[in-house]
Structure 1
């Protein structure tokens, strides 16, 4: 007996049925298995936007509209205009500080709709340094630097006649501290130049072992653990690849610092804490601090606003102990022709970038 399968078919006559095409459900694959290979399509992953972490937004404009995405460093010939671009609608820039110090008109920066443009005309060896840009984020009038977007490139302008980056300072003081590395900043205009560090007295070349003393062409010679033995006069020597005579850098005086970083260390002293009418006395406020640390003074005294006084501020470098250099800053207030109103407390307030310190002394009547 012949079995008839009636599922999905219509009986035409005994023993024969015709298959009925089933309507496919929505989303069902219409390709029959085994007949055609199906190509799987994966969704496209959106690339990181310019300015996101890990991708440089800084480029150099080349000839014929070509662009070069910049890395850690770049070497260029001096004299030919340099154009850099940074992608973004609000961009901040940094470049060798002296271009701002001297208000150099060779440098121009212009913000366009989608990028910012920096152009430096007639660059020279002195323009060697780091150039960087970043996205500026603003919320109303408050704007901040987007640190994750910062792109930086150190650019060498290779001048065969200027092996060291020129400096307006012919004798520079370098302060040595026991708690952090010190740098002798004899930077070069070509990273391939051979450079050595020399002490004047006793005359010797300093060994560079890459550990205690190392060299970075973008920074100079780095002394990892400064000590009093490193103080003295130094210079750097560069050997040219085209000339037999080596070139000598700026001179550097290395001074060892005794006073640690922190708010001002202050003392106050009156020439006399007892005065009579008609006398003259002075009050001196003294700060011992780091050699390059600026200190500001302000006073509060009994006759303030009613009695004329004379105030003189000054500072100088002094040697304390063996090989230690300290900056002494002073403010001296002179009170002439003492009157009753001048008796009382004299308060000196000192400030530096680490904080402030107040000290006081009292001047009384002799009677």
Structure 2
């Protein structure tokens, strides 16, 4: 009986709208828009992700899941345009154990024969597409971080036995020793002099999804470190990480150019050197424009790079490109222009070489 009055009220409102559509067009729309807003706001807090359980059951996955390695994981996200993110390890080797499919009403991710190395964040989101251009729908997302526990593997396995972590003064640095057991106690240690480095929450914090995070790296932090994990009466040591402090601020390449001589006699050889000092892990590409280019003048261009240590253990990447012209002629005189480019921009420098 308690449900009858609302049922009776709704048809009346609809009837009124039909009788006087012109006068009341605006008024009924206002509550409707509010209803839509409130309906739209709920997905922002509700995940669109479901985990497929045994016997066809479904459940919303928790923010973190602990599963035994070897288990099959099937995740579904509601929507007809679903994009996925998962541990980069699975992408690196184009792993056949991973399957991602789009069905009419949901996206599906399946991982079989899981291993400790698969530990990480699995997330999905709906896409709003206009033709081929899609953008992320922030109202429709879902994620879970899965720990795949494997016997004898407290740490997520690394492809190498040694890794380099660059410490930039203007951004966080991460020593990526992640664990496969949620309850593991993890500590950070310096190799020499041997001591534990406290994760005090101000300089360094431990994030189980990322590792040890250096919030404000400085040169005192550099050296060789490793992590130690303890769980269930067992302990394990991670690979070692070389922490290198970076001197050069991030940005477009800091570029200089220098000719072996700016005045050359005919028949001599000339070389022009373009040099970039930059961050150790940022690659640089070089392009040259030179006077004899339009005449297809043969030149030799050689690109090299190496890491250099500059005082107080600061580490810098020096990238160089050298253009060499043999048997200098009139057509070789003019501007030698070098453009250096990295992911953050490009810098162009030039010098002149004249025939004396």
After TM superposition, the score normalised by the length of structure 1 is: 0.85
Task: Show the counterpart of 1:5.
Answer: none
**Offset at 1:160?**
3.0
**Offset at 1:143?**
1.9
> Is structure 2 residue 288 aligned with structure 1 residue 299?
yes
Provide closer, same or farther for how the CA distance between residues 183 and 39 of structure 1 changes in structure 2, counting only shifts above 3 A. same
Task: Show the counterpart of 1:229.
Answer: 220
**Offset at 1:357?**
0.7
Q: Secondary structure at the match of 1:266?
A: strand
**Offset at 1:292?**
0.8
CA contact (8 A) 1:57 1:151 kept: yes
CA distance in 1, matches of 2:162, 2:114: 25
> Is structure 2 residue 54 aligned with structure 1 residue 89?
no
CA offset digits 1:252-271 (Å, max 9, x no partner): 00011111111110000011
Task: Show the counterpart of 2:62.
Answer: 71
Task: Show the counterpart of 1:341.
Answer: 331
Query: RMSD in angstroms over aligned alpha carbons?
Result: 2.1
**Offset at 1:202?**
0.8
CA distance in 2, matches of 1:56, 1:169: 36
> Is structure 2 residue 104 aligned with structure 1 residue 113?
yes
Task: Tell me which moved more, 315-324 or 47-56.
Answer: 47-56
Task: Show the counterpart of 2:353.
Answer: 363
**Offset at 1:169?**
2.2
Give the unaligned 5+ runs of structure 2: 11-31
> Is structure 2 residue 239 aligned with structure 1 residue 250?
yes
CA distance in 1, matches of 2:2, 2:283: 77
After TM superposition, the score normalised by the length of structure 2 is: 0.88
Equivalent residue in structure 2 for 1:329, among 306, 319, 328: 319
**Offset at 1:37?**
9.5
Task: Show the counterpart of 2:273.
Answer: 284
Give the number of equivalent residue pairs.
329
CA distance in 2, matches of 1:131, 1:93: 7
- Bigger radius of gyration, 1 or 2? 1
Give the unaligned 5+ runs of structure 1: 1-35
CA distance in 2, matches of 1:111, 1:235: 41
Task: Show the counterpart of 2:22.
Answer: none
Task: Show the counterpart of 1:23.
Answer: none
CA distance in 1, matches of 2:249, 2:3: 73
**Offset at 1:40?**
4.7
Please list, as runs of the form range in 1=range in 2, the aligned pairs for 1:169-188 lying within 5 A after superposition: 169-188=160-179
**Offset at 1:242?**
4.3
**Offset at 1:181?**
2.0
**Offset at 1:73?**
1.3
CA distance in 1, matches of 2:138, 2:146: 21
CA distance in 2, matches of 1:280, 1:37: 98
